[in-house]
Amino acid sequence: MAANTLLVELGVEELPPGAIDELSDALAEGIRRGLTEADIDAGEVLAYATPRRLAVQIRELADKQPDREVERRGPALAAAFKDGQPTRAAEGFARSCGVAVDQLIHLETDKGTWLGYREQQQGEATTTLLPGIVEQAIGALPVPKNMRWGASRVEFSRPVHWLVMLYGNQVVEAGALGLEAGRTTRGHRFHAPEPIELAHAEDYLAALEGAWVLADRDKRRERIREQVLAEAEVQEANAVIDEDLLVEVSGLVEWPVALTGSFDERFLEVPPECLISSMKANQKYFHLLDEEGRLKPLFITISNIDSADPEQVIQGNERVIRPRLADAAFFYDTDRRRSLGDRAPELAGVVFQKQLGSLADKAHRNAAVAAFIAGRIDGDVHDARRAAELAKCDLVTEMVLEFPELQGIMGRYYAANDGEPGEVAQALEEQYLPRFATDAIPQSRTGLALALADRLDTLAGIFGIGQRPSGTKDPFALRRAAIGVINILVKGELDLDLRELLELAAAQHQELPYAEGLVDEVLTYMLDRFRAWARDEGIGTEVYLAVRARPVTEPLDFARRLRAVQGFARREEAAALAAANKRVSNILAKQAHDVDIRVDADRLQEPAEKALYEAIEACRDRVMPLFAEARYSQALDALATLREPVDHFFDQVMVMAEDPAVRRNRLALLAGLQALFLEVADIALLQQ
């Protein structure tokens, strides 16, 4: 079967840069899926995109579907013939197959014999099927917002201007969005506006690059990265390349050209984060740092033209950025005229959640919880309370209203300007850490207390009004809050009990509709998040389940157990001891009453049970102090020595002896063995 390259390109007005990647990938996936459903073999599927085009190139695409044998089943044989003559059912089935009755076959099944027909069906040509596949793929694109243009009734994200569909050197006769497919594409809007006739689908990338268009997204991004780094080297500076900004800028240009501009040094009196946010959000500029990490009065812009007079382009960008930075300087100066404390009353007018009150209410609740936590972790209770009172005040400043991403950061600057204690100012920024699972946690004690209090208040409050996350819906980011609490407690090595903290957080709310059982529900939810934490740490699910089976409510202790059991699971004794514990669990579960773990040494009869008893007692003396100090790895290492006496016991001793007293004693021996391991985890679950 012959194969060739397919090219599909949709030419459009400039697309929203944030939507380009999603649309490009969706188009490629839609066509690939359509080909798969049509049973057409295809090789590599490549997605290309620029602001003015979405394209898909598919290598080694088969020119037709494979031939296949089609089998149809008609009436049951008993209903197909009567007195040796075909019935109407048989004749009707034969007509539907286009043959005579005597050309039908008998199909034997487990439900009887049926009349049937089998034929070879020729595969359809790929070029015949492509129009429907492509049209369906385009129609299913996740367009953020449709529009119409001119008198057309066609709708798409932006006006469409051309459609290319080539299979090898052949134009596929097709249409979509009111366009007829052809072989004509367009180059750069300014450098190469003339139509380009593509001779072959394989010519696409080279033809466009010759017309000042880099259609390969990855290549265009790397070109931008290389140019930015080269410009920075000329300026003896370090360029900061934000990956999200790189993607966005790549979605704004077809032929990137990096240029360096400057701004007045007086703007460096403004916090650098403000200037950077303004440059990134408003102008899509990359900023530069000196060797000490300080912001330089320079920026790198990515132009979409290779200008004969680049200085004019640079000056134009400098003129545009000047008022933007002036706005940032104005916001900063204006905000500093009032202290954060003076802004606290304004929080009463900002709703946190309708049923949970305002940000002022949240600040009041956070203050009580943060002060308690600070007292438990050797922090400053007064600083923690003060930080909680000021934590949300920067949300009503001009700077944060303009640049929401600066919340916390501006709180730190303004608190320092107001003369607040250094740790209070630091905590205002740290309250949002960690932002994601692998992010850093707060470094100050006050920051730790505030970050925990804020998340615990949100978790208790939102659960308390019945807004538990479900499926993909998590508008208050409770999953992230729960994992944040876990990370803070574990990475910060804070030996705090989640149940106690949640009870305190819930008690700060005056009225919660779902207060009954609230703490248990939130606690279960948070501990369940440890599964994701364990996975990120490379810890197996069976290890998580073994630890989760125990009533552990201190995340730091939970993490220590996870790591210890993970290490134990790698030992050669682990499998045998896990199997033995599983066997013990099954035996004990069948008993009508709880089994006493006290063993009567005088009733031990067999050498193997005496040996196991002595081993358990010796082990207990060694491991109980280790359990008390949470040294679980060493304790499990000691328990691993029980493998041999446990194996011998099960090989040589009948647990369910006829003598009830002997039976109870042996069950007590096993219960004692199980209890030792359960001090850490239910290792019987490691068998899963």
Are 384 and 485 contained in the same domain? Answer: yes
Among residues 150, 362, 556, the alpha carbon closest in space to that of 564 is found at 556
Number of separate helices (H) and strands (E) present in the chain: 27, 20
On whether residue 283 sits in a domain, the answer given is: yes
> CA 128 to CA 132: how far, in whole Å?
8
Note whether 60 and 26 are same-domain residues.
yes
Q: 103 and 86 in one domain?
A: yes
Q: Is residue 489 part of a domain?
A: yes
Q: Is residue 142 part of a domain?
A: yes
Does residue 588 belong to any structural domain of this protein? Answer: yes
Of 282, 312, 335, the residue at which a domain comes to its end is 335
Q: Does residue 544 sit within a domain?
A: no
272 vs 298: CA distance, rounded Å:
12
Specify the CATH number for the domain of residue 193: 3.30.70
Q: Long-range contacts made by residues 153-157, C-beta under 8 angstroms, separation at least 24?
A: 154/178, 156/12, 157/12, 157/15, 157/16, 157/19, 157/23
Contact 402, 414 (CB under 8 A): no
Quote the pLDDT of residue 313: 95
| 176 and 146 housed in the same domain | yes
> Which residue, among 491, 393, 515, 501, has the nearest Cα to 456 in the 3D structure?
501
Clarify whether residues 298 and 446 are in a common domain: no
Does 560 fall in a domain? no
One domain for residues 479 and 440:
yes
Q: What does the pLDDT read at residue 131?
A: 93
Residues of the chain with pLDDT under 70: 1-2, 592, 688
**Plot region of 75 (φ>0 → left; ψ -120 to 50 → alpha; else → beta):** beta
Same structural domain for residues 578 and 630? yes
- Which one, of 420, 421, 395, lies nearest residue 339 by Cα? 420
Q: Please check whether residue 534 lies inside any domain of the structure.
A: no
Helix (H) or strand (E) holding 482: helix 478-491
* Position 331 in a domain: yes
Reported residue count of the chain is 688
8 and 141 assigned to the same domain: yes
pLDDT at 592: 67
- CATH number of the domain that residue 511 is part of: 1.10.3210
**Same domain for 61 and 73?**
no
Alpha-carbon span 177 to 192, nearest angstrom:
25
For residues 469 and 477, what is the distance between their CA atoms, to the nearest angstrom? 8
Q: Residue 199 has which token pair?
A: 């001779």
d(CA 468, CA 633): 36
CATH (domain of 627)? 1.10.730.10
Segments forming the whole domain that contains residue 636: 569-687
For residue 523, is it left (φ>0), alpha (ψ between -120 and 50) or beta? Answer: alpha
Overall domain count for the chain = 5
- DSSP-assigned letters across all residues of 222-252: HHHHHHHHHHHHHTT-EE---HHHHHHHHTT
pTM above 0.85, yes or no: no
C-alpha pair distances (Å), 672 with each of 52, 448, 677, 686:
73, 41, 9, 19
Do both 184 and 50 map to the same domain? yes
- Within this chain, do residues 452 and 601 fall inside the same structural domain, yes or no? no
- Segment 166-186, tens digit of pLDDT: 999 999 999 998 899 999 999
| Residues 560 and 570 sit within 8 Å (Cβ to Cβ) | no
Q: What is the pLDDT of residues 19-38, one digit of tens each?
A: 999 999 999 999 999 999 99
Q: Are residues 360 and 473 in the same domain?
A: yes
